[in-house]
Structure 1
Amino acid sequence: MTQSVLFFDSGVGGLSVLQQVRLHSQPLNLRYVMDDAAFPYGTKSDDELAHRVLQVCLNAVNQLAPDVLVIACNTASTLTLPALRQILDIPVVGVVPAIKPAAKLAQQGHIGLLATPATVERLYINDLIQDFAEHCKVDRFGSSELVYWAEDFLLNGDPVTGLKDHLQPWFDQFPQMSHVVLGCTHFPLLKPQLHQHWPHIHWIDSGEAIARRVAVVLEQEQGQLSTTQCNSGPPGSISLHWTSEQKQQIAAQQFLQQLGDLTEASQLHLAEIDRLSPDASRGADNNPEPGSE
């Protein structure tokens, strides 16, 4: 039986992670859930977000019955991974910014972190830098604009006109930066334009690392064939689900149709979850996902 992986994000950012899993771990049935009814997450409190992420993810797991859940959102990962792992009886893989590999690759020892304003200020970022990049100079840039631009770009396909003006002052301030970590899963969707404007920068995200982690988890849990053997089979199906009242999510559908057979596109109906205890709706900033490094 073909295994199933469920990806969760507030919007389209997690599609960048799903794409890497599709490339590296076939055959799999892939289910993508976007909590667009609560988008953007950056305007909400941690308590509100933690409860919301748990509610949507538990509903999605109950309805779609995946073998693995991937929280393809840095904010949601840091807030809810411990609780989800406590509540669910399937493996849960999270995402943290790829600071560790960037620090290894940066020969001049100067890296940047490009993420949402909330992410760059979180305590777990300090922990990642202390644990894996203490020998580096790490400069941070928080941007909410890139989240919206990534969503618009996926929908319309038009180049982002404000990208150069938005980021160039940062690069001018720190000209020695050689590697920049894309610390939001939305940002890799803009990689072609980032490469075009700043070809000397090495842009690093967690997509491939997550794909490798998912392959290992599936093999451990189900005793499946190796990734190399799996890649020789048919790719499996893809489905899309969202939480708002909108009848169509055209941009996400078009993106997924390019990756394979999109068998379903439908709204995810949310019910109250009885399994949420007061402590279960709170995560831990100091518990990043080691596999995403």
Structure 2
Amino acid sequence: MTNSTQSFQAPRILVFDSGVGGLSVAREIQQRLPLNPLVYASDNAFFPYGTKGEAELIERVDLVINELLLRYPADILVIACNTASTLTLPHLRSKLNVPIVGVVPAIKPAALMSKTGVIGLLATPATVARPYTHELIREYAANCQVISLGSSELVQIAEQKLRGEAIDVNAIGRIAQELMRADQAEQMDVLVLACTHFPLLKDELAQYLPTQLKLIDSGAAIARRVEFLLADAAEPPADYLPEHLAVFTKATEAAERLAPALTSFGIHQQAYLDI
């Protein structure tokens, strides 16, 4: 390793989620910024977020993010969780001096992309019900029919898939069928995957949905935003190799079983914080 490589430190990206869904966002970031070290943080001790109260979640995310930034100082923070983003971004931005990128359901691009004016929204029940989501629909999809379906089961299935466990594809089929039973569903041409876990099941979902239905998510847009915010960073030496790390808030057997999946994302180290 050269001296220039030893002294160079590319901007570190901290990607945070309640579980493993944010890995779908981390993958998009890595494709755009392959030379930036990435810390993927999962608050598995408090998973799932969708069942928790709002005040409780804001307090929890504040605690975990502050601890993470103390241990792993980062140049940019990505909240790769729709639930956490819609609730905690204003609070975090008021307290932290690091750039923060959140996840917004891709309702605006879906409305622009749709030719039929009928779009779908597949999210957690909490995201479907949240006023923030309703405001996005009013602002960007007022001229569209939006078919919304909330599913917590898909979150658990995505977690199981990444742990290498057998998944219930019939359950995925039932959820897809429920979505397609909605009024005007046969005209739906764009489906927003508004939970970062759901792109991890895109292939499985596509098997049960009409072939003409486009499945979109926010991952690529988030990666473009991170790239833009880090655009002024110095170019690393040609032989620079970034180190990626996964951090969990609780040491569990389930977290250990994620090691092969994490390796496929270029993450070869795991660490644990007891929070």
Q: When the two structures are superposed, what TM-score results if normalisation uses the length of structure 2?
A: 0.90
- Corresponding position of 1:215: 227
Pair 1:206 & 2:218 matched: yes
| Alpha-carbon distance in structure 2 between the residues aligned to 1:234 and 1:19 | 19
Given candidates 111, 116, 131, the residue that maps to 1:103 is 111
Q: CA 1:178–1:86 in structure 2 vs 1: closer, same or farther (change >3 Å)?
A: same
Is the Cα–Cα contact under 8 Å of residues 236 and 261 in structure 1 kept in the other structure?
Answer: no
- Corresponding position of 2:200: 189
Q: How does 1:5-154 map to 2 (within 5 A)?
A: 5-154=13-162
Aligned residues with identical type, % of pairs? 44
Give the number of the structure with larger relative contact order, counting CA–CA contacts within 8 Å between residues 6 or more apart. 1
| Alpha-carbon distance in structure 1 between the residues aligned to 2:241 and 2:194 | 28
Is the Cα–Cα contact under 8 Å of residues 162 and 258 in structure 2 kept in the other structure?
Answer: yes
Given candidates 238, 241, 258, the residue that maps to 2:247 is 241
| Alpha-carbon distance in structure 2 between the residues aligned to 1:94 and 1:67 | 15
- Corresponding position of 1:177: 188
| Alpha-carbon distance in structure 1 between the residues aligned to 2:223 and 2:32 | 6
| Alpha-carbon distance in structure 2 between the residues aligned to 1:179 and 1:240 | 33
Q: CA 1:233–1:26 in structure 2 vs 1: closer, same or farther (change >3 Å)?
A: farther
Aligned residues: 263
1:245-276 superposed Cα distances (whole Å, 9 cap, x missing partner): 326623432222113252x3111243xxxxxx
* Pairwise CA distance, 1:192: 0.9
Q: CA 1:121–1:245 in structure 2 vs 1: closer, same or farther (change >3 Å)?
A: same
Larger mean CA deviation between 53-62 and 171-180 belongs to: 171-180
Is the Cα–Cα contact under 8 Å of residues 164 and 258 in structure 2 kept in the other structure?
Answer: no
* Pairwise CA distance, 1:211: 0.3
Aligned Cα root-mean-square deviation (Å)? 1.9
Gap regions ≥5 residues in structure 1: 271-293
Q: CA 1:215–1:24 in structure 2 vs 1: closer, same or farther (change >3 Å)?
A: same
Larger mean CA deviation between 167-176 and 74-83 belongs to: 167-176
* Pairwise CA distance, 1:165: 1.6
Is the Cα–Cα contact under 8 Å of residues 26 and 233 in structure 1 kept in the other structure?
Answer: no
* Pairwise CA distance, 1:83: 1.3
Is the Cα–Cα contact under 8 Å of residues 247 and 266 in structure 1 kept in the other structure?
Answer: no
Moved over 6 A (4+): none
- Corresponding position of 2:6: none
| Alpha-carbon distance in structure 2 between the residues aligned to 1:168 and 1:143 | 13
- Secondary structure of the residue that 1:237 maps to in structure 2? coil
| Alpha-carbon distance in structure 2 between the residues aligned to 1:79 and 1:233 | 41
Q: When the two structures are superposed, what TM-score results if normalisation uses the length of structure 1?
A: 0.85
Is the Cα–Cα contact under 8 Å of residues 191 and 203 in structure 1 kept in the other structure?
Answer: yes
- Corresponding position of 1:164: 173
- Corresponding position of 1:265: 270
* Pairwise CA distance, 1:100: 0.6
- Secondary structure of the residue that 1:175 maps to in structure 2? helix
* Pairwise CA distance, 1:28: 0.5
